[in-house]
Chains A and B, each alone.
Chain A
Amino acid sequence: MYGIVGYGSYVPRYRIKAESIANQWGADAEAYKRGLLLEEKTVPGPDEDTITISVTAARYALQRAGIDPREIGACYIGSESHPYAVKPSGTIVIDALGCGPECHVADFEFACKAGSEAMFVAYSHVKSGEMKYALGIGADTSQGAPGDALEYTASAGGTAYIMGADRVAAEILHTYSFCSDTPDFWRREGEFYPRHAGRFTGEPAYFHHVVNATKGILAKSGMEPKDFRFAVFHMPNGKFPLRAGKLTGFKPEQLEQGWVVNLMGNTYSGSSPTGLAACLDVAKPDDHILITSFGSGAASDSFIIRATDRLPEIQKLAPATRDQLADRRIHLDYGKYVAYRGKIRMNVT
């Protein structure tokens, strides 16, 4: 049996409401909230970045796994907001966690799919017997240009998964990837904000890949939507995952628990991994969960996961995702938001 030994999400305390962003730009907040099915989003604090988010999420994962961090043979961090263009995030993370130095480390990038990519490779390592445990993280302090529709969704947070062959709390039964050259969203070297191709990011990009990956893994596994208690689809906004669920035969009640986007926003690489964590927080033994990520460019990774008897034992060992979403929220005005996000040009000392 191979799968998730421990997991942990980190949700920043800071939030900004759609109204605050709309008010800044003279836009209609209600129309955006209706169109995106989103109330507010998370904002990283001034001393938070992909590395700090990864460390906290991974510490929670270690708390649940109950293993010696030195047994972790690989650490992969998927993000499109690594603080350094050259120099890995992962080295800081493994030192902070007490892993290594005998640890394979790499930073992954694949738009919003980088997190599931890290999970995929970490899982493959332990399944192959190459190492006992491997850590895969999806974390982001997502970028969205001021005034762009993305500004209402691009948020911060992340989730870490420790994969292993023993102490498995959620078995990974099947994996599947669906990938093509579909450039719907990009940020070139040196550009501060990503660009997107409007409606092109819908049907040919998100829905084509998410639906085909989901149908592909269902066909591979011989399972049907009714066999699952939960399903999680990448959440660039509130509407897309609900429609993806409808298109692939899932009911709204199967999506509800993992649909964290209305309060969290789109955490890019952390999005669907965090939705999965919210499901693992409440899943019971033998519950099946389907997760399909999406990354622009474009591809989807799908996993079919089954909760084991160990899952209830570890659920309370670290903060639950939805508790973090609900608790200790500090709402920022737009001025503080742009200051915290580093959008104000300062003198460099």
Chain B
Amino acid sequence: MRDVAVIGVGLTKFGDLWETPLRDLFAEATLACVKDADIDKKQIQSAYIGCMTSGLFVAQEHLASILCDYAGLNPIGATRVESACASGGAAFRAAYLEVASGASDFVLAGGVEKMNDGADATYCLATAADQEYEVYHGVTFPGLYAMIAHAHMHRYGTTAEQLAAVAVKNHRNGAKNPYAQFPMEISIDTVLKSVRVAEPLGLMDCSPVTDGAGAALLCPVEVAKDLGRPFVKIIGSGHATDSIALHDRADLAAIPVVGRAARRAYEQAGVGSKDIDFCEVHDCFTIAEIVCTEELGFFERGHGGPSAADGLTALDGQIPINTSGGLKSKGHPVGATGIAQIAEVFWQLTGQAGERQLKKSPRLGMAQNMGGSGGSSTVHILEVVS
């Protein structure tokens, strides 16, 4: 396996992008990425594009071809990758493996989702849950994560205020991110008093519905060295699956797929959780960030909530989580989220994160992307190359 580098990233603004079709979102992110990497677009040999459900959201399948056509990438080989909300992370891993294997030198990892085009987002997203055993009985994702939250609160004493602290911190970070959909600071009180969606989760515990796209360009480290531009090295890539249905899991207060993916990434990288300087975590709901930070080994089980409330995950905390604002503030165009996480890690490691740049120059950054209520997850560890 060859060492692989990320040499450029690109994002669209995240939000209600009424006037931008799906294909334009991808083209915009791709062109920004190519410009960032400063290579000729013709050098790209292959692409993997994460997208959860363009068929339901905008009635467009056969996605990789149409997106590459409009981004001017034809006639490269291209594949759409689907793993629910972990589609972006899975696409990134596929691109990584193609470069690492030696099959291609320049591979694009993209992600895109157009969610605000008239489709019922709750219905579309619920297709990532177990249709026969969960969805047919009326449960949706807020309901599933509310069950996880209830279990976590019951087992460990996690409180609504601790959940709210996650949202407050992520909005504080997102307010510094020009790509964020909701770049405004909020208070604990705002979260606690927000409209109830599924107890104990209120509207401000939930990530929004978002249009957006992202792209990252990968190549062998040996090739990257000759480009004379900043790059980061992928030192760990973990991927795991689990049962989609919550009731098939032994412990509702855990999301074990995240721990499994993380262990694989840590093992490959030869590092542990204490070595990670910051992490982009899949905070589709506030409880998800709390459980995931425990699964990733940053905190002991049951300590995720108090740690968030005590500021340990803030920009200047012990382990900054979601410096980008996370899914909560930056937005969650589901297929693009995994790539947007990689973009944030790239920017932080190369000192390009602007107002939200971590003060202590980080060396190792992590991105954890998750599908459904924990049916799949990817974890990537990236290292700055000085």
Seen from chain A, the residues whose Cβ lies within 8 Å of a Cβ on chain B are 27-28, 31, 35, 197-200, 203-204
Residue B196 is within 8 A (CB to CB) of chain A in the complex? yes
Chain A residues with CB under 8 A of B195 = 27-28, 31, 35
Chain A residue with minimal CB distance to B195? A31
Chain B residues with CB under 8 A of A31 = 193-195
Option from B16, B118, B194, B196 in Cβ contact (under 8 Å) with A203: B16
Interface pair A199/B194, CB less than 8 Å apart = no
Interface pair B194/A200, CB less than 8 Å apart = no
Chain B residue with minimal CB distance to A208? B18
Chain B residues with CB under 8 A of A28 = 195-196
Chain A residues with CB under 8 A of B196 = 28
Interface pair A204/B18, CB less than 8 Å apart = yes
Residue B116 is within 8 A (CB to CB) of chain A in the complex? yes
Cα A309 to Cα B118 with chains together (Å)? 51
Chain A residues with CB under 8 A of B19 = 204
19 A-B residue pairings within 8 Å (CB atoms): A27-B195, A28-B195, A28-B196, A31-B193, A31-B194, A31-B195, A35-B195, A197-B118, A198-B116, A199-B16, A199-B116, A200-B16, A200-B18, A200-B116, A200-B118, A203-B16, A203-B18, A204-B18, A204-B19
Per-residue contact bits, chain B 1-41, to A (CB 8 Å; 1 contact, 0 not): 00000000000000010110000000000000000000000
Chain A residues with CB under 8 A of B16 = 199-200, 203
- Secondary structure of the B contact surface, majority rule: loop
Q: B192-231: which residues lie under 8 A (CB-CB) from chain A?
A: 193-196
Q: Tell me the minimal C-beta distance from A257 to chain B in angstroms.
A: 31
Q: Tell me the minimal C-beta distance from B115 to chain A in angstroms.
A: 11
Chain B residue with minimal CB distance to A31? B195
Q: Tell which of B18, B193, B196 has the most Cβ of chain A within 10 Å.
A: B18
Q: Tell me the minimal C-beta distance from B38 to chain A in angstroms.
A: 35
Chain B residues with CB under 8 A of A199 = 16, 116
Q: Tell me the minimal C-beta distance from A18 to chain B in angstroms.
A: 13
Cα A31 to Cα B118 with chains together (Å)? 25
Q: Tell me the minimal C-beta distance from A225 to chain B in angstroms.
A: 26
Chain B residues with CB under 8 A of A198 = 116
Cα A199 to Cα B115 with chains together (Å)? 12
Q: Tell me the minimal C-beta distance from A22 to chain B in angstroms.
A: 11
Chain B residues with CB under 8 A of A204 = 18-19
Chain A residues with CB under 8 A of B116 = 198-200
Additional A-B contact list (10), CB under 8 Å, known A199-B116, A203-B18: A27-B195, A28-B195, A31-B193, A31-B194, A31-B195, A198-B116, A199-B16, A200-B16, A200-B18, A204-B19
7 smallest A-B Cβ distances: which pairs? A31-B195, A204-B18, A199-B16, A28-B195, A197-B118, A28-B196, A200-B18
Cα A27 to Cα B194 with chains together (Å)? 12
Q: Tell me the minimal C-beta distance from A200 to chain B in angstroms.
A: 6
